[in-house]
Amino acid sequence: MAEVKTLTHEEDILIEETGYDDHFHDHHHGDKYQSGFISNYIFSMDHKMIARQFLITGIFWAFIGAAMSIIFRLQLGFPESDFQWLKPILGKWIVVENGVGTLAPEFYYALVTMHGTILVFFVLTAGLSGTFSNLLIPLQLGARDMASPFLNMLSYWFFFLAGVVMFYSLFISTGPFSGGWTAYPPLSALPQASTGSGTGMTLWIVSLVLFVVSVLLGGINYVTTVLNLRTKGMTLWRMPLTIWAFFVTAILGILSFPVLASGFFMLTFDRALGTSFFLSEIFIEGQALERIGGSPVLYQHLFWFLGHPEVYIIILPAMGLVSEVLSVHARKPIFGYKAMVLSILAIGFLSFIVWAHHMFMSGVNPFISNFFVVFTLIIAVPSAVKVFNWITTIYGGNLRLNTPMLFAIGFVSMFISGGLTGIFLGNSAIDIQLHDTYFVVAHFHIVMGIAAFFGMFAGIYHWYPRMFGRFMNETLGKIHFWGTLVGAYAIFWPMHYIGMAGVPRRYYSFDTFDAFKHFGEMNQFITVAAIIVFALQVLFIVNFFYSIFKGKVQTTRNPWGATTLEWSSPIGGVHGNWEGKIPTVHRWAYDYNKDDREFVPQYIPMEEGEVAGEDVHV
Amino acid sequence: MADIALNNTNQSTRRIHPQVFALWVSFGSILMMFIALTSAYIVKQAAGNWLEFLIPVEFYFSTGIILLSSLTLHVSYSSFKNGNEAPYKLLLILSLILGSIFLVMQFRGWFTLFEGGIDLKGNPSGSFFYLITILHAAHIVGGIGAMIVAVLHAFTLKFKPTERRRIRFSLVLQYWHFVDILWIFLFAFLLFI
Ligand code: HEM
Ligand SMILES: [Cu+2]
């Protein structure tokens, strides 16, 4: 019972001619599948809606996580000031003495811990790869939806639940977990070890186990969809780099998150059932515990076996988005497509054999450290290949310097600055001085935190019309970009210096350390910069939500003149992504400025005698 | 529920059913979880202070039982495919029973171990043994849940070996084979390492 539709859009007509019929709309009569508010907006199984759910939840958490960092930055920048004005929000965690309100030290640690956990897992994992894998995998591959829309929906709701549990833990009387985002034992293994180690830690584990389930459900779906549901003609070597990045990201998640889960199970046994996997010879308040025989370093191995791939789970999607945005707005094919794919694969592989570079100072055997030093430094090679190719892609291009493009270029800048400091840290000898100092904080915030955010912003500004049928405001976007670029460097550059001087991270106050006292002014400067950057992100959030309702309306399907399939589907999106047939693919994703044609979408058949772009550009 | 995967048939890239494929991917994930534990076991063992003990005989029995259940389930599946209703139903029930006996055996094995003085809280070698076997048992519980659904299907739906039902059954079968092989691996590991 296929409905007879008169097709008016150029894209639809072309797809009707060259696409193929999977009888999709025969099975679905009208919009029965998508009726009602609840199935449409809440328990939706449509990948485009799930993508928006991930994004908006991610923005919520980004706001909370960033606000926390402002509070602990206030303590670091202005340790002597009166913070009574924060009492309405923080309640008993502001301790008033002699009329001066100070942040309770336990809560400072809790804030640092929550900031890390939230940003790494909820924002840069779920909010980034959750959003864009969902949005782009089916659309760019020419699939009707994910392999299992149901599991896909579950993936979001497990993430949501993880968030509810974590959010709840912020309000309990002993406060949330406070032992750092890496949750090292013994602080995480003994409920009596610190205030946050009790209920706070229990909730932290519960939340993260739910989160692992979410990542696995999502990842299994992404991998299956990429390998099984590509449209005709979409060979692996014609997939856009975004898809390659999401694909490898999902594989990393599937292989590394279960290892974290195992670590959590052992931790739970230690906490609740009295085992001593990670505990040995501990004294609490002068009392020796009976728990002997375990090893806290074992936990570190399990954690970082996830932890290092995790940082690539965060950065690879950003790299994919940036590659795409750079190519579209430079109006040039991506430089070295195959090299890009191979370096994604190489990074993915290497990320599994470098984890101990986080443990050079944990007492691991120095000979074993050497092995990890070598592999860590080798990661710089595929990373450098990517950087080189991005720069070459924009070199000599006809650049459109709009907001997505600016953020994509900003990403490259951040990735270079932060990647370089990684090479210092990767040398175990230099790491003796730098480990656990602000140098490390600067390294990973620039290379992961800011860079991944830039990739995400590039993605949001670029695909905003695909998600909401409108554009975000350009002027606000440019203010957002320039302010954040300058501000982020202002925050993190000085931290390298502080770190080289040996100032340790995660300290509440430096009053008692003569060597570190004189960085007070620099800390003030950093805090002020952080506040300004935070304000700019609020501006972004305002722009984001305002534009959903009032942004400039998208009038053509393919506003950027891009080649990938998502821009051939109707504005606003339909269930099943294409009205009639599914487009088939005839060329790679980067036919820009080819034989006098400005761009050639992937669903346009090859002309007689035309040489395939992928043969010309590799 | 709209089954998108089934709609995207005859695409050039499709060779195996996407749901089967997804199941295989999740095997990889489960495997990594256990590899993490066995690796931790090896590392801890190498660090010394490691108590050696004999594995109670119940675990040998359970190994035989789960092997048998894999066999019965497999024959049940072939019967289903070939349209032989009676052996299909009978062997399915039998597999479910064997699967449950496996769990009971594990349970009794833990008790014997405990009575023999190896308790969860003691030496890490015991803790690891319990943790690994309990986590495996949790995966067996999942398999038993899936078999219960299969039994319900078998006895409430009219017997009709359609492609859709075959796929579903094969998902259950493959998962069960997987947790079976996983157990053999874990058992051999705990026995010899
Ligand atoms: C050339 C590439 C890189 C090298 C050689 C490198 C090396 C290192 C080393 C050795 C450390 C440990 C420092 C210490 O704790 O003493 C470290 C920390 C870290 N790196 Fe990198 N890194 C590189 C790129 C990246 C990338 C691309 C990301 C993320 C996208 C990243 C994220 C992190 C994080 C999150 C930490 C700190 C975790 C913590 O202790 O809380 N790194 N890096
Ligand atoms: Cu690392």
Is the CB of residue A279 below 6 angstroms from any atom belonging to ligand 1? no
Is the CB of residue A310 below 6 angstroms from any atom belonging to ligand 1? no
Is the CB of residue A230 below 6 angstroms from any atom belonging to ligand 1? no
ipTM tops 0.85: yes
- pLDDT reported for residue A30: 45
- pLDDT reported for residue B2: 38
Q: How far is the CA of A436 from the centre of ligand 2 (A)?
A: 13
Chain A's closest residue to B39, CA to CA, is: A302
Nearest CA to ligand 1 atom 20: A444
SS (H, E, C) A218-260: HHHHHHHHHHHCCCCCCCHHHCCHHHHHHHHHHHHHHHHHHHH
Ramachandran class of A281: left when φ > 0, alpha when ψ lies in -120 to 50, beta otherwise = left
CA distance A536 to A542: 10
pLDDT in tens, A298-339: 999 999 999 999 999 999 999 999 999 999 999 999 999 999
Nearest CA to ligand 1 atom 4: A422
* Average pLDDT value for residue range A110-118: 97
Decide if A201 is inside a domain. no
Q: What CATH number does residue B35 fall under? A: 1.20.120.80
pLDDT in tens, A466-493: 999 999 999 999 999 999 999 999 999 9
Examine the pLDDT at A170 and tell me if it is beyond 60. Answer: yes
- pLDDT reported for residue B110: 96
Is the CB of residue A442 below 6 angstroms from any atom belonging to ligand 1? no
Any CB–CB contact under 8 A between B171 and chain A?
A: no
pLDDT in tens, A26-52: 655 444 455 677 777 788 899 999 999
Decide if A287 is inside a domain. no
Q: Do B40 and A273 touch (CB under 8 A)?
A: no
Q: Residue B163: which of B17, B21, B11 has the closest Cα?
A: B17
Q: A38 Cβ partners below 8 Å, 6+ apart?
A: none
Q: How many structural domains is chain B composed of? A: 1
pTM over 0.90: yes
Domain limits for position A443:
366-549
Decide if B112 is inside a domain. yes
CA distance A590 to A586: 12
Q: How many structural domains is chain A composed of? A: 1
- pLDDT reported for residue A5: 55
For residues A587 and A612, the answer to whether their CB atoms sit within 8 Å is: yes
Looking at the CA of A309, which ligand is closest? 2
* Average pLDDT value for residue range A217-235: 95
Domain limits for position B126:
19-192
For residues B151 and B94, the answer to whether their CB atoms sit within 8 Å is: no
Q: What CATH number does residue A495 fall under? A: 1.20.210.10
Decide if B13 is inside a domain. no
For residues A579 and A21, the answer to whether their CB atoms sit within 8 Å is: no
- pLDDT reported for residue A285: 82
Decide if B3 is inside a domain. no
Decide if B82 is inside a domain. yes
Residues of chain B where predicted confidence (pLDDT) is lower than 50: 1-14
Angle at A285 between CA A280 and CA A289, to 5 degrees: 30
Decide if B161 is inside a domain. yes
Q: Do B29 and A220 touch (CB under 8 A)?
A: yes
For residues A483 and A406, the answer to whether their CB atoms sit within 8 Å is: no
Optimal mutation site among B1, B6, B8, B23, interface A, most CBs of chain A within 10 A: B8
Is the CB of residue A186 below 6 angstroms from any atom belonging to ligand 1? no
Contacts of A305 in chain B (CB under 8 A): 36
- pLDDT reported for residue A9: 76
Decide if A309 is inside a domain. no
Contacts of A147 in chain B (CB under 8 A): 4-5, 18-19, 21-22
Q: How many CB pairs under 8 A join A and B?
A: 143
